[in-house]
Amino acid sequence: GSAVTSRVKVTVLPVIPELPADAQPENTAFNHRVLLVDHTGTQCGYCPKMMAALKTVSETLDYHSKYYEAMSHTYNSSDPANSSAAQGVSSHYGITGYPTLSYNFRYNRSSSYDATDIMAQIDALWKADGAQAGIAAATNLAATKVIVNVSVKAAVEGEYAIAAWLLEDGIEATQSGATEDWMNIHNNAIRQCVLSEDNGNDISGVKLGTIAQGETAKSVLELPVTSNKWNRDNFKVMLIVSTPNDKGKFDVANVAICPINDVVTYDYKR
């Protein structure tokens, strides 16, 4: 006789990527990077001045080892690099003029197109003796999201939070006021970010609690891929660890970049 089998629904859970091994478990001397966020847009005629200044900074001596940058395209909603996550980031900074360059989570420098000035601001925030914490991570691009497994290791005991921003490179869009062809290719555009679970406007991300010196705290974060217009081949994840400053507000302690379907290890000082 014939047999009838019932349908079985199979739910495929996303694979949590494995964190890289810590090659120096006793080490807490981490290289330090500052967070720069350029609030910009393709119809902003003055924004190429900031783009040119940032390019000069990136090509000057070893400055690009001192910071990572993200581009928050919020000047015009028709911008192909615009996203709701970028709007949330620019809202956090209270941006009212373009271009504005933000440093870490707390400081804006409106319309400073001077590369020398930008380098001076980086120098003021950069700690030559190292960061308060280090970041290791692994990412996995699933069907509708990026899974991020992240570990924060404290060099200084304290409260910490971790944020993950999904960035996209290589977005082609004509830039108003562009003076060179490269200005029409937009990199490091914010596509998605993990916000704090207890305050939707808090871009510091997920609170990890107190981490003792030399100890680690881990978290698994998800970044939804909500548009089929985003180029998944050009994704990367920016990871931002923060800790309370002298005013009790979480501010950036260190930044790392992890490629998609790859890992980033703790960046120890040599």
Q: What is the pLDDT along the chain (270 residues), one digit of tens a residue?
A: 566 656 766 555 678 999 999 999 999 999 999 999 999 999 999 999 999 999 999 999 889 899 999 999 999 999 999 999 999 999 989 999 999 999 999 898 887 889 999 999 999 999 999 999 999 999 999 989 999 999 999 999 999 999 999 999 999 999 999 999 999 999 999 999 986 555 555 789 999 999 999 999 999 999 999 999 999 999 999 999 999 998 889 999 999 999 999 999 999 998
Please tell me the distance from the alpha carbon of residue 109 to that of residue 125, in angstroms, as a whole number.
13
Q: According to the model, what pLDDT value does residue 195 have?
A: 62
Please tell me the distance from the alpha carbon of residue 40 to that of residue 75, in angstroms, as a whole number.
6
Q: What are phi and psi of 171, to 5 degrees?
A: -80, 120
Report strand pairing: 67-73 vs 235-244. Answer: unpaired
Q: How many CA atoms lie within 13 A of 8 on its CB side?
A: 4
| Token reading at 185 | 């290719």
